[in-house]
């Protein structure tokens, strides 16, 4: 009966007119930054509030969405004059189970309720049902979180698909910590899609663990198997780092959280993710897998992809934070006026017009000015497609706001600027934009600097952040407003699922009820994501490529001359299938992905043909699943032929801590072999630059020095060219800095980590085959040194404790002992008087949890 009544009300034209009127009023208030309105005339508000009370009891997700929108809009508009609206909102949100949205406002925490006793008992009862007791205290959850929490206690794997702000990751983190605190698990992992997320998630988990002083657990972020394997551990890593850990046959997990699991369909990295999860299950079939997904049509597809027998699949469209989609349009005929319309389920409200102080014609000028015009006074994200565009938009925003009155947080901004200058470079544009309260954020920025930007934004030291698609991959930067104009990912228009994932960052759970998503010139967007809806589809990149693009795969398998890295998706799939062939699992894999008979037979024939020329042992192939077996064979053939001739020392990689010239010379020789045998590039001397840059990085050299070295080289290039009569131009400092940051992240910490890992494992196999067992045990861990940017044991231990490279480097400079292991380093830290040590506040804040 209730559902029929709800359906009748929502089908009534008068209801829709009332609702559009209320939401239009709320939009006008928000855009004009007005305070609460006077008491409304007529009975429309009464009708809507009564409807919201009924809708909040419905199972219809659209009705529940309307209930939330009505209750929050009414309260924000008239809560100051109509005291009963606070009680109405309390009732509606309680019925919806949105308790985290209630708990942050003093109006609800501190005021005595005036709800009638039966209704108050109902609301209180719902809260009790959604409150859980766990180590560290009680916690009120949303309905969706409570359902997931109950599922987790069954030890079954859980697949959770929900909007961005629904609290999926938070719930899984709490479960992971709770299970460790109760001694039910020893090893857990939180697998994140990007390195940018490692510091954020590891800091969150470390903070949760710090509230449990009796639990001697640790958070590990670098791929080194811990010496004390009996101690409870949470590994926070990308799939590539977990893949390295799987090189230890004893490594296994009790619980694994896979964040943004839909990225199993994301090209080469999706293939790696699928292989890692399958390997974890092969090690321990009882591993509890917990998947977070945005809203997708088919979350249960993960059960088939990973062969999970009986998972609990949960899906919801409910969110405790609402998003207002606002269309902004500046017409060419009147470029100094903007029209705003609220979009809801395919309908747009009547437009409001705002006169501007300037004419807007240039697209970037338009995006920046409207972000400032509607976003000032609150916290806003501006979406910039590329790193260079992020910097440009941030600079334009700075130009708009820097002449405003000095901010009360000006000193904090200056401190942040000094930190960026000292630890990236004085000419890095970010150091200047933060002075105006404008930051930018992309994946190549050093982790501690990114984290400092995130914290400054969260603490309202920064008002604007210009961001690339790092936001799409789980980085938690919720804001009041998000501004987009014709957004792209890479060089393609943003897909609907990515758009809605990004839009879900608008509105901060625990800080406000709603957020605003401003779409500028939406009619000009190449793709129209509003019409497609928020739900994407989950698919396996491995299956997609094998079934639908098998010809390209077969060509790759049959061509031994293709260099490593030319097509990473095909390379990873070939490596995966070849490994399965060696292990006798190829038929099973092709069966599982439903490969057609003709494709199956062609792939089997191609793999069998390739196997005739590849003698690399299974163990070595398994340690290098992202390097083509063909290229591994080339390297193996060279080393097995030449190491006995020229001697072990000639081919042994040098430890970075040795004498500079000697180490540089030997590393250059190693990198030349990588370029020839893996890259397939016998000509050119790029290997010299990469070897030198790698050595500087592994020896702990600071980014300012690396960047200044590149700037000085560019100036020498111009001077030499001019001396030779050529007219050369210097590169901009901004582009040089971006390139060095990219070189560190993409080349040193990704490409050369993979290639040096391959070199070391092939060399180790060769040394064992020729009887050089002692030498095989002393091959330096160059891949690890490249990954973390350090080679001293002390600096590695500090990073292993969860500190960034910047903090570890500053601390090592103050330590006499460069050979401290993890426990010795922690004890050293706790002995220090940091009041007497001149460390940046940002570094002190990172160290603080270790001293608790």
Q: pLDDT value at position 224?
A: 79
pLDDT of residue 554: 96
Beta strands in 503-608 (DSSP E): 514-520
Pair type for strands 288-293 and 233-237:
unpaired
**pLDDT of the residue at 105:** 64
106 SS3 class = helix
**pLDDT for res 276:** 96
> Quick one: residue 698, left, alpha or beta (phi over 0 = left, psi -120 to 50 = alpha)?
alpha
Mean pLDDT per block of 10 residues along the chain (852 residues) reads: 89 90 87 73 87 92 91 87 83 87 66 74 84 79 92 93 88 93 92 88 87 83 78 93 90 95 94 96 95 94 94 91 92 92 80 91 95 92 92 95 84 96 96 96 90 92 91 73 91 85 80 89 92 87 95 96 94 96 95 94 96 95 94 97 96 96 97 97 95 96 94 91 86 95 95 97 97 96 95 92 92 92 92 86 89 78
CA distances from 374 to 19, 357, 400 (A): 23, 13, 13
Count helices and strands in the chain by DSSP H and E runs:
40, 20
Please tell me the predicted confidence (pLDDT) of residue 477: 77
Residue 651: count other Cβ atoms within 10 Å of its Cβ: 20
Report pTM. 0.91
pLDDT of residue 733: 95
Q: What is the 3-state secondary structure (H, E, C) of 702-769?
A: CHHHHHHHHHHHHHHHHHHHHHCCCCCCCCCHHHHHHHHHHHHHHHHHHHHHHHHHHHHHHHHHHHHH
Q: Tell me the per-residue pLDDT of 374-430, one tens digit each, with 9 for 90 and over.
A: 998 889 999 998 999 999 999 999 999 887 778 899 999 999 999 999 999 999 999
Contacts of residues 28-32 at CB distance under 8 Å and 24 or more positions apart, as own/partner, are 28/352, 29/76, 29/77, 30/76, 30/324, 30/516, 31/326, 31/340, 31/352, 31/354, 31/374
Task: State the pLDDT at residue 473.
Answer: 66
Judged by DSSP in three states, 196 sits in helix
Between the CA atoms of 572, 573, 575 and 577, what dihedral angle is there, to the nearest 10 degrees?
160
612: buried, middle or exposed (CB in 10 Å: 19+, 13-18, 0-12)? exposed
């Amino acid at each position: 009966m209730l559902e029929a009544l709800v359906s009748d009300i929502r089908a009534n034209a008068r209801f829709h007119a009332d609702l559009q009127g209320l939401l239009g009023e709320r939009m006008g208030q928000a855009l004009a930054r007005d305070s609460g309105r006077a008491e409304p005339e007529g009975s429309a508000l009464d009708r809507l509030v009564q409807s919201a009370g009924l809708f909040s009891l419905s199972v219809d997700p659209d009705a529940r969405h309307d209930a939330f929108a009505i209750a929050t809009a009414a309260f924000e508009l008239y809560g100051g004059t109509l005291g009963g609206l606070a009680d109405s909102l309390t009732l509606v949100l309680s019925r919806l189970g949105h308790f985290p949205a209630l708990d942050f406002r003093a109006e609800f925490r501190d005021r005595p309720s005036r709800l009638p006793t039966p209704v108050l008992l109902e609301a209180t009862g719902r809260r009790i049902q959604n409150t859980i007791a766990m180590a560290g205290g009680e916690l009120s959850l949303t309905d969706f979180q409570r359902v997931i929490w109950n599922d987790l206690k069954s030890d079954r794997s859980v697949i959770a698909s929900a909007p961005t702000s629904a609290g999926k990751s938070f719930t899984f983190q709490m479960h992971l910590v709770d299970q460790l605190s109760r001694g039910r698990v020893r090893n857990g992992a939180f697998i994140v899609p990007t390195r940018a997320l490692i510091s954020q998630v590891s800091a969150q988990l470390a903070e949760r663990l710090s509230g449990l002083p009796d639990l001697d657990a640790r958070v590990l972020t670098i791929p080194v198997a811990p010496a004390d394997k009996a101690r409870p551990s949470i590994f926070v890593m990308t799939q590539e780092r977990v893949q390295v850990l799987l090189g230890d046959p004893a490594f296994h997990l009790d619980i694994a959280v896979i964040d943004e699991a839909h990225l199993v369909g994301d090209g080469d990295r999706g293939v790696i993710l699928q292989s890692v999860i399958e390997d974890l299950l092969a090690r321990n079939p009882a591993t509890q897998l917990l998947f977070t997904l945005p809203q997708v049509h088919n979350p249960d597809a993960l059960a088939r992809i990973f062969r999970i027998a009986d998972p609990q699949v949960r899906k919801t469209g409910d969110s405790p934070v609402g998003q207002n989609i606002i269309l902004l349009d500046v017409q060419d005929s009147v470029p100094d006026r903007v029209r705003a319309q609220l979009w809801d389920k395919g309908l747009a409200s009547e437009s409001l017009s705002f006169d501007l102080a300037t004419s807007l014609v240039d697209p970037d000028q338009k995006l920046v000015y409207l972000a400032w015009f509607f976003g000032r006074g609150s916290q806003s994200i501006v979406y910039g497609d590329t790193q260079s565009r992020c910097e440009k938009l941030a600079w334009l925003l700075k130009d708009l706001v820097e002449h405003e009155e000095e901010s009360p947080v000006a000193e904090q901004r200056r401190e942040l600027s000094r930190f960026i200058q000292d630890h990236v470079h004085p000419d890095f544009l970010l150091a200047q934009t933060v002075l105006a309260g404008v930051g930018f954020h992309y994946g190549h920025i050093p982790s501690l600097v990114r984290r400092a930007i995130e914290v400054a934004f969260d603490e309202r030291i920064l008002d604007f952040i210009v961001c690339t698609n790092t936001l799409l991959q789980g980085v938690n930067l919720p804001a009041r407003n998000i501004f987009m104009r014709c957004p792209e990912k890479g060089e393609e228009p943003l897909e609907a699922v990515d758009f809605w994932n990004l839009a879900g960052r608008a509105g901060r759970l625990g800080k406000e009820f709603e957020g605003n998503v401003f779409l500028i010139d939406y009619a000009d967007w190449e793709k129209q994501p509003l019409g497609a809806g928020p739900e994407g589809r989950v698919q396996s990149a491995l299956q997609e490529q094998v079934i639908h693009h098998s010809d390209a795969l077969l060509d790759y398998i049959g061509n031994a001359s293709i260099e490593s890295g030319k097509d990473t998706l095909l390379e990873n799939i070939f490596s995966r299938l070849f490994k399965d062939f060696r292990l006798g699992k190829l038929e099973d894999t092709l069966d599982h992905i439903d490969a057609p008979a003709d494709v199956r037979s062609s792939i089997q024939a191609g793999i069998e043909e390739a196997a005739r020329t590849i003698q690399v042992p299974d163990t070595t192939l398994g340690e290098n699943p992202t390097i083509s077996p063909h290229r591994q064979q080339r390297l193996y053939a060279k080393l097995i032929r030449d190491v006995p001739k020229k001697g072990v020392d000639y081919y042994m990689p040098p430890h970075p801590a040795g004498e500079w010239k000697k180490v540089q010379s030997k590393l250059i020789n190693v990198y030349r072999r990588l370029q020839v045998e893996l890259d397939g590039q016998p000509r050119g001397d790029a290997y010299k630059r990469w070897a030198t840059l790698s050595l500087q990085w592994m020896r702990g050299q600071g980014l300012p020095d690396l960047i200044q070295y590149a700037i000085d080289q560019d100036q020498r290039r111009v001077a030499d060219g001019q001396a030779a009569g050529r007219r050369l131009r210097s590169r901009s400092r901004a582009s040089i800095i971006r390139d060095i940051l990219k070189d560190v992240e993409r080349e040193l910490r990704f490409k050369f980590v993979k290639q040096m890992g391959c070199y070391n494992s092939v060399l180790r196999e060769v040394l064992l085959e020729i009887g050089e067992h002692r030498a095989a045990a002393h091959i330096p861990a160059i891949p690890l040194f490249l990954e973390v940017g350090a080679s001293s044991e002390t600096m590695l231990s500090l990073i292993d404790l969860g500190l960034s490279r910047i903090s570890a480097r500053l601390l090592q400079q103050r330590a006499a002992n460069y050979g401290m292991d993890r426990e010795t380093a922690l004890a050293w830290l706790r002995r220090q008087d940091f009041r007497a040590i001149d460390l940046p506040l940002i570094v002190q804040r990172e160290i603080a949890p270790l001293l608790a």
